[in-house]
């Protein structure tokens, strides 16, 4: 276990607690050889340029070669990222990442002719070719997507330029990430005895759940203040990113950056606006929770750094292996086929990089590509939050695993709109298992706190960040400046509405929140999908736990579908209609039930 006071260097982490990169490439030398071979083979796809209309065999050969390039470059990228994400100060790993991103940009440019030429062939002709060539049938959904997006696909020359600039357009994001993960100096947090507790991206979550208020306060303030000290640089990165999103939307003939982001993934913009409206309508549920929390803590005022303060004096210590046991037990409703693979990946096959170390990327994520394991980065801290985060990331990894097992390369990726369903579904099932098997009041309170913390991030913070995104992109579209003062002011106003009168305002530190979500905020209307995901997940979990006919098999079919179905259609297959506001309203009813349960437990203590 890593404590907040002692964060090891990467070299001090035990090999058994790290992910196994050799399952992608056996060595750096093998990766170098594969990268050189790949770089030489990129141009070979250009032999097909201008020829796709020759007939089905030529089109099929082109698509197969593009898929092969996709799979190869993905493995090259994953290998490099496995080293860089666990130590962002490692300049050798950073150089590997830069080289892969460079060849990826070249790949995008070299294959940019494909979709314009597919459109030129005509979709009626494509249907005839599929009828004549069975091997083309598997690309049917891909052709449907190209047809849907044809008004936004540009000429081969323009598409080539857009492919070439993809690497350069990531610079704002990578600069922000390097700043926060590698270069920012976070002053230590302090307890009442003046003990210094090391503050890093890997320990901030642990410190904010510390029972000592001074630890929480100094951790929150020092973490926020480090970002505030660099607010102008970060704001410039964010403004640059917004300009890039607006540029891309206009080049592709979308009416707005929002329309471009959602249109690319076949999500109606009404889904976004409906989510925001429903969340804002339900703010009183959050206000009730914070009022209850303040009273339970015995405080006159509740600050942001009190939102995760433990309500029970009995701290749960959950070693990694015990967390795995709980998760596997919780996931048993999905069957042995799911749990056996998951357990092997978590314990034996080293999918997981488990504990914090200096320079490691913040938070947690699932990563991988068809042909690699579905890796998981954690900053595990032996607590209930870490256990739940592990369940969450396992949901992503098993989604990827089942997709890769069942889909060809063309459908081996999927968007966040469906991804966050799989992750939150796991958390819902594991919580249900733990609620039913441990009736100790302190344990139940801790479990509710974890659930509320997760909902707070996904069903409060993320929708507020989504509103922030909308506002800054609309300003960017109007050509208005986006300074640090502007960004922080927008952010603070949104939090002031969301927190209401229940949480003490801190304009500067609330205002800089956007900057603490570096990767998320650069992905162009990415974060709203966390909220739609948690809503859909709870609706589907309810059906599986209730033993609803076909609920389990339909859910596993959804996990196996990848991008072979449009996101809303994939979720309808699983059993939920996210074009409706009802799943979001239902998730707020789940949230309210947790508040009711917590109030009863606190009353009976």
Catalytic residues: 393
Chain position carrying tokens 């589907």: 540
Planar angle of CA 520, 153, 248, nearest 5 degrees: 40
| Alpha-carbon distance values, 351 to 24, 26, 195, 366 (Å) | 12, 16, 35, 9
Contact predicate 285/591, CB 8 Å: yes
Spatial CA neighbour of 7 closest among 195, 197, 181, 194: 197
In 42-165, alpha helices (H): 56-84, 91-110, 114-121, 123-132, 140-148, 156-164
Token couple for 140: 């049917």
Burial letters 307-318, b for 16+ CB under 10 A, else e: bbbbbbeeebeb
The dihedral over CA atoms of 126, 131, 137, 141, expressed in degrees to the nearest 10, equals: 50
Cα gap 60→15, rounded to integer Å: 44
Strands (E), 307-441: 352-353, 365-367, 375-377
Angle, CA of 518, 423 and 533, to the nearest 5°: 75
Q: Which residue do the tokens 């250009």 mark?
A: 46
**290 and 502 in contact (C-beta within 8 Å)?**
yes
Reference 302, options 506, 468, 125, 475; nearest CA is 506
List Cα–Cα distances, 462 to 110, 145, 454, 547, in angstroms: 36, 28, 11, 31
Place of tokens 């905020």: 521
Residue 381 CA to residue 1 CA, distance in Å, equals 6
Helices (H) and strands (E) in the chain, counts: 27, 5
Please say whether the beta carbons of 370 and 399 come within 8 A: no
Residue 183: CB atoms within 10 A of its CB come to: 11
Give the DSSP letter string of 251-274.
HTT-SSHHHHHHHHTT--HHHHHH
For 50, counting Cβ atoms within 10 Å of its Cβ (0-12 exposed, 13-18 middle, 19+ buried), the class is exposed
């Amino acid at each position: 276990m890593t404590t907040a006071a002692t964060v090891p260097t990467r070299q001090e982490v035990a090999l058994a607690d790290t992910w196994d990169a050799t399952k992608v490439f056996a060595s750096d030398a093998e990766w170098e050889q594969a990268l050189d071979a790949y770089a030489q083979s990129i141009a070979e796809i250009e032999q097909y340029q201008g020829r796709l209309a020759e007939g089905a065999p030529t089109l099929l050969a082109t698509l197969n070669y593009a898929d092969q390039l996709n799979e190869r470059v993905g493995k090259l990228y994953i290998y490099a990222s496995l080293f860089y994400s666990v130590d962002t100060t490692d300049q050798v790993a950073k150089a590997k990442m830069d080289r892969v991103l460079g060849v990826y940009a070249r790949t995008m440019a070299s294959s940019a002719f494909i979709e314009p030429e597919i459109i030129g062939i005509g979709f009626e002709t494509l249907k005839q070719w599929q009828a004549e060539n069975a091997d083309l049938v598997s690309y049917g959904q891909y052709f449907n997507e190209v047809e849907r997006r044809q008004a936004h696909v540009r000429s081969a020359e323009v598409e080539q330029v857009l492919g070439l600039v993809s690497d350069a357009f990531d610079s704002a994001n990578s600069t922000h990430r390097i700043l926060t993960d590698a270069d920012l100096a976070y002053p230590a947090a302090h307890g009442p005895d003046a003990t210094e507790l090391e503050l890093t991206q890997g320990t901030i979550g642990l410190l904010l759940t510390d029972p000592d208020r001074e630890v929480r306060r100094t951790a929150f303030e020092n973490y926020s203040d480090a970002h505030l000290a660099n607010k102008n640089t970060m704001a410039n990165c964010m403004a640059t990113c917004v300009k890039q999103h607006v540029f891309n939307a206009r080049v592709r003939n979308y009416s707005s950056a929002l329309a471009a982001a959602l249109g690319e993934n076949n999500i109606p913009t009404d889904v976004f606006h409906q989510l925001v409206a429903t969340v804002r309508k339900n703010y009183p549920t959050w206000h009730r929770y914070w009022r209850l929390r303040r009273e339970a803590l015995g405080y006159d005022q509740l600050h942001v750094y009190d939102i995760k303060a433990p309500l029970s004096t009995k701290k749960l210590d959950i070693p990694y292996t015990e967390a795995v046991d709980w998760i596997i037990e919780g996931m048993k409703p999905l069957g042995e086929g799911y749990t056996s693979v998951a357990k092997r990946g978590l314990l034996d096959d080293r999918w997981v990089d488990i504990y914090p170390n200096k320079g490691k990327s913040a938070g947690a994520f699932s990563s991988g590509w068809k042909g690699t394991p579905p890796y998981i980065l954690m900053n595990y801290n032996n607590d209930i939050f870490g256990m739940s985060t592990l369940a969450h990331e396992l949901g992503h990894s098993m989604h990827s695993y089942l997709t890769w097992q069942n889909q060809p390369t063309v459908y081996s990726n999927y968007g966040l709109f469906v991804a966050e369903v799989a992750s939150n579904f796991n958390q819902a099932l594991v919580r249900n298992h733990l609620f039913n098997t441990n009736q100790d009041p302190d344990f139940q309170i801790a479990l509710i706190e974890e659930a509320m913390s997760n909902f707070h991030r996904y069903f409060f913070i993320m929708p507020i960040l989504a509103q922030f995104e909308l506002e800054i992109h609309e300003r960017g579209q109007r050509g208005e400046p986006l300074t640090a003062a502007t960004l922080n002011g927008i952010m603070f106003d949104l939090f002031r509405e969301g927190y209401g009168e229940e949480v003490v305002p801190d304009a500067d530190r609330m205002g800089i929140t956007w900057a603490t979500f570096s990767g998320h905020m650069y992905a162009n209307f990415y974060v709203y999908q966390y909220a739609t995901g948690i809503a859909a997940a709870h609706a589907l979990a309810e059906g599986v736990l209730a033993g609803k006919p076909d609920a389990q098999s339909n859910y596993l079919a959804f996990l196996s579908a990848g991008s072979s179905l449009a996101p809303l259609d994939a979720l309808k297959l699983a059993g939920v209609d996210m074009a409706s506001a009802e799943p979001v309203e239902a998730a707020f009813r789940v949230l309210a039930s947790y508040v009711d349960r917590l109030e009863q437990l606190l009353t009976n203590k």
